[in-house]
Chains A and B, each alone.
Chain A
Amino acid sequence: MKLGIQINEGPYNHEASVTALNYCKAAIEAGHEIFRVFFYHDGVNNGTRYSTPPQDDINIANSWSALAKEHNLDLVVCVAAAQRRGIVDEGEQERNGKDGNNIADGFRISGLGQLIEAGIESDRLVVFGD
């Protein structure tokens, strides 16, 4: 089955992202395809490489980056939500005149159309959040 994933909550404050991470791993293991993972609302905060949790805690951003690398996942951060919350890639840095960027490996910033497309192209859109 082709799955679209939407994550609406930030890391640590809410379990949604880690649950989604585990869900994606299990789905891939069971032979399903992840069409796209779309990060929305505070979920965009999963895509910063500047997160430094204590060493005995999970690094959620790195875990997503690793899973994306291993399975060639498309991790998309919503641009409008990212701009509000300060998640920046090189393109956004240049466009908005910021002094740096913080997007984590394997993530890209794009528009809400990517979420709608995931809804259209996937057999199921699975939403993680409150």
Chain B
Amino acid sequence: MATKKFMYVNRKAPYGTIYAWESLEVILIGAAFEQDVALAFIDDGVYQIAKGQDTTEVGIKNFSPTYSALGDYDINKIYVEKESLEARGLTVDDLMPLKWEDEDEDWAEKDSIKVVNADEMKALLDESDVLLNF
């Protein structure tokens, strides 16, 4: 089977609608297909990977711990748009520390998150073969 560059574009807040959670379900299933996978977090989508999510009061499942498992699925290209963070008064320190282990470097732990500006994000989207937009 051919290998393509899959880019999952996440643009919506984690709660309020189900897009974020069902997007994560696609990402996890898709991981089994051995494609070249990257994730983009843009606009309110940056809240999906914010630290300290607590859904107790709204009575909806808090699925945010699942993002920490992405590294185990070899998903380690997580791009966050700088402008989206800034517009919301956030920095990378407000995000969950998503990591992966590099087996080529004795399983050294590395950051999966890379903050990129809008132009860099545009280039990343441009070079992707399949855009799944949520």
Contact = CB atoms under 8 A, between A and B. Distances in A.
A119 interface: yes
Contacts of A113: 29, 32-33
Interface string B70-84: 000000000000000
Contact of A125 (B2, B19, B22, B132): B132
Contacts of A41: 18-19, 22
Contacts of A40: 22, 26
Given A125-B131, A127-B132, A112 B4 contact: no
A127 B33 contact: no
A125 B22 CA distance: 18
Contacts of B35: 116, 119-120
Interface residues of A, number: 18
A8 B19 CA distance: 9
A127 B25 contact: no
Contact of B131 (A80, A81, A116, A127): A127
A120 B2 contact: yes
Contact of B22 (A81, A111, A127): A81
Given A8-B134, A119-B132, 5 more contacts: A80-B25, A112-B26, A116-B29, A119-B129, A120-B1
